[in-house]
Each structure stands twice: as structure tokens, then as C-alpha cells.
Amino acid sequence: MTRIGFIGLGNMGGPMAANLARAGHAVQVFDLVPESLERAIKAGCIVAGDAREAVTGCDLAISMLPAGDHVRGLWLSEGGGQDLLGALPAGALVIDCSTIDVASARAVGAAAKTRGIRFLDAPVSGGVAGAAAGTLTFIVGGESADFEAAKPILASMGQNLFHAGALGAGQIAKMCNNMLLAIHMAGTAEALALGVKEGLDPGVLSIIMGKSSGNNWSLERYNPWPGVMENVPASRNYEGGFMTRLMVKDLGLAMALAEHAHSAVPMGALARNLFNLHASQGQESKDFSSILELYLDKPQDEPGAM
């Protein structure tokens, strides 16, 4: 049994912490949302009074936060940050599973190294369903030895563990992945909307494309058309998934990375514009597969309809 401090119990972090508790670890958790803490208690976690208390007495700590500013504010002292690195003993291992900018990941990792603390950036893929089922993919950047040390813990939350390279490599790979995800989700929604407007059944069209050259993960595992697939956000009014505003954030990170690399990403840029437009229409809290609604005709009496 390992004593683990876990900060951030949102749609992804909550199930991840619960899986660690089910695996027999003592998981000390903290989140700013009371409802998230209540769910963590039911899952067998130990609720701490604040983030510092959550990592106290732990040789391993995990964070799952929305953005780089939150990660810096948690682990570093700059700008009035909480400096949780100072609460950990030398030799402790920090695994940040947030999807953030590369510079923030490397800054926290460098600060950890000066204190003799090991650090991995380990963003995840697999969505809320994968977090709940313990089938996530972890994309890890950092030292090989630290990755090996983290494997038993990561295996309690995921099935696919990849060492992408040095510190920051996990974030780079995740940005490339999510940019591609956005592109094929938008394309899948566009193709389905076209077929349905011409009289096809969305379920039948999905089967046809799924057995043809147009098959992709969004179509096969996360279909955006309501009612075609069970247990996906599209069949529950696009609730409880990966929010559109988070996809917009990730696409922004990918665009910044592309600018740094002087890499042309025209499809990624178009996807960002589409998801940004969708979010601006009041859909920022819905699952990103709700991009389908951007392609549907609005009723004539709906405000804003043409």
C-alpha cells in the first residue's frame, strides 16, 4: 500500500483517485468543490482540509488540474503559490496528469529537481469513461527511472502507459493527439449531418463508415449523434464528458506549440475555430462531441436562427 496525495477531483481526477483507493492505496485527496469531496469519501478516499494536508506524509503525489497556472500555483511559490513541493520529502515523486503548456511542466519539473524531488508530466487520454473504468492512456515525460517507479501506480488507473521522452514530452504528445481528436470529431459530425440531411439513418451511416475507410475513434467509440451509441455523452444531452471549453484550451496549446515549432497546422487551426465558435454559442460546458449541433439546421423560431 502506498500513501498518495491527490489534488483535483473533477470529471477525470475523481474516478482516478477512486481507482487508486480500490487498488488498496491510502489516498489523501483535496478539491475546492464539496460535492467532489463527498464522492471521494464514498469511494474510500481520505479527505484532507487543504492541498498541503493532502500531500503531508506522502512519498507520491498526483495533481489533475485545468491549466498550467493552476499547476504552477499548486507546486511553486511564485506569485503567491502554495509551494507544495516544500511539503514533500526529498526523493518523493510528483505525477502531474493535467494537460498544460510545456513551459509550465518543465518549470515545475526543474523546481522539483532542485529540491531532490522527482517529477513526471503525465497527461491522460481516454475520457471520463476511461477514467471510471481504469483504462486510461498515460503519456509520460520525464526520467526513465521515474517512469518505471510510477508504473505500478499508473497501472491502477490506466491500461496503456507510454514514456514519450524527456520532461515535457508527455504534454507535446498529448497536444498532438487532442488536435487530431478535434479534427476527426468535427469531420465525423460533419459527415453524419450531411448524410442525415439527405435522408440516411445516422445509425446505419455510422455502421457503414465504421466498416469503411472513414472509420475513426470518434465514430467507433464516441459517436456524436444522439441515440446511436449507448454510454456516450451524445446519448445524455452531451453531459458528463470532456467539455468543449477544455477542447478549446487544448487546441490553443497545440497552436502555441505549432507556432514555437514553426509547423503548419491548417486543419488544427480550423478545428480550433470551429470549437471556439461552438463554445461561444453557449455550449462551452457540453461535451466536445456536441460540435455536431454546429452542423444542424436551427428551427426558424429559435433566437439567432437565419
As annotated, the active-site residues are 174
For residues 59 and 50, the answer to whether their CB atoms sit within 8 Å is no
C-alpha cell of residue 81: 503559490
Q: Where are the alpha helices (DSSP H) in 120-168?
A: 127-133, 144-154
- The CA–CA distances, whole Å, from 278 to 90, 158, 185, 232 equal 46, 31, 13, 19
- The CA–CA distances, whole Å, from 46 to 3, 24, 65 equal 10, 12, 19
User: What is d(CA 11, CA 7) in angstroms, rounded to the nearest whole number?
Assistant: 13
C-alpha cell of residue 169: 514530452
Task: Indicate the residue type of 118.
Answer: R
Residue 109 half-sphere exposure toward CB, CA atoms < 13 A: 25
Task: Indicate the residue type of 267.
Answer: M
